[in-house]
A and B are shown apart, each in its own frame.
Chain A
């Protein structure tokens, strides 16, 4: 797989590190990893940078993950960038809410590197 650029959005810096480690354990060659602590920070990061995928929590202060997805279309750099939710909110209603908002994948915490891989590789393959 080619090098990828990822944006990881979570209000926990520990979870951001764990998601990055899971991507590496899943065999991803990370050319660029950006981090944001909420949806607003993520939108700001995408104004300045292009990424191949966004991995995003739902429950965050300032701007949550669902609102972030809704506003993503307004960022020229981010059009068509797939977003995968990584969250403790695992009910079917939350999954449907995220998918209808535009999420391409959904990973429930706790998760393994294999689960991250299973979600992300098909999405990145479909994008290329």
Chain B
């Protein structure tokens, strides 16, 4: 194994990553949930209460997170599973975590030259609002605010320098 000397800059800039992340998210929602993400006309004033997080390690280190209201995560799980929201139950966290995992994986596969040198952690889902996320040396690099079935979702990519 050889040590990598690549830096995040070797894989582009946040400006380059934004459309790739948006495309990655749109593909996951369209292919796995049958839902088209839309762009909100105004910024929604809602506090997300569930977060899906996937770590990136290797040539690009950081954290991808998806935040939304629990009702939105429940609807995502119901669409993924093809069942009514009331039938989702304990599968909600698993489904929401997998959405984060697929968005992160699809994103890294779209960044030229990155796929081989970047590994993903297993997804983690946090519920509640009373927490602060600390990721070593990371700054918010990309933040997308989109609507899933008219409900706000925030997709963030923080990258360590």
Which residues of A are in contact with B by a Cβ distance under 8 Å?
11-15, 17-18, 21, 59, 61, 87-94, 108-112
Q: Give the residue of B31, B97, B104 whose beta carbon is less than 8 angstroms from that of A12.
A: B97
Partner of A110, one of B27, B94, B122: B27
**Closest 7 interchain pairs by CB?**
A88-B105, A91-B115, A110-B31, A90-B109, A93-B116, A14-B94, A14-B95
CB distance from A24 to the nearest CB of B (A): 10
User: Would A91 and B95 be within 8 Å (CB), given that A11-B122, A61-B122, A110-B32 are in contact?
Assistant: no
Is B157 part of the binding interface, using a Cβ–Cβ cutoff of 8 Å? no
Q: Which residues of A contact B77 (CB under 8 A)?
A: 14
- When chains A and B are docked, how far (Å) is the Cα of A11 from the Cα of B101? 12
The answer to whether A12 and B116 have CB atoms under 8 Å apart is no
Please tell me if the beta carbons of B102 and A109 are within 8 angstroms of each other in the complex: yes
Q: Contacts A91-B109, A110-B32: A14 and B91 contacting too (C-beta < 8 A)?
A: yes
B116 near A91: Cβ-Cβ < 8 Å: yes
22 contacts between A and B (CB under 8 A): A14-B91, A14-B98, A15-B98, A17-B81, A59-B120, A61-B122, A88-B102, A88-B104, A88-B105, A89-B105, A90-B105, A90-B106, A91-B109, A91-B115, A91-B116, A92-B115, A92-B116, A94-B116, A108-B106, A108-B109, A109-B32, A109-B102
Q: Which residues of B approach A to under 8 Å, CB–CB? A: 27-28, 31-32, 77, 80-82, 91, 94-95, 97-98, 101-102, 104-106, 109, 115-116, 120, 122
Known A91-B116, A110-B32, A112-B31; contact A13-B106, beta-carbon cutoff 8 A = no
Residue of B nearest to A25 (CB): B82
Given A59-B122, A88-B109, 15 more pairs with CB closer than 8 A: A12-B97, A12-B98, A21-B82, A88-B105, A90-B105, A90-B115, A91-B109, A91-B115, A108-B105, A109-B32, A109-B101, A110-B27, A110-B28, A110-B32, A112-B31
Is B115 in contact with A18, judged by CB distance below 8 angstroms? no
State in angstroms the CA–CA spacing of A69 and B152 once bound together: 41
B116 touches A110 (CB 8 A): no
Taking CB atoms, residues of chain A closer than 8 Å to B101 are: 88, 109
Does the CB pair A88–B120 fall under 8 Å? Answer: yes
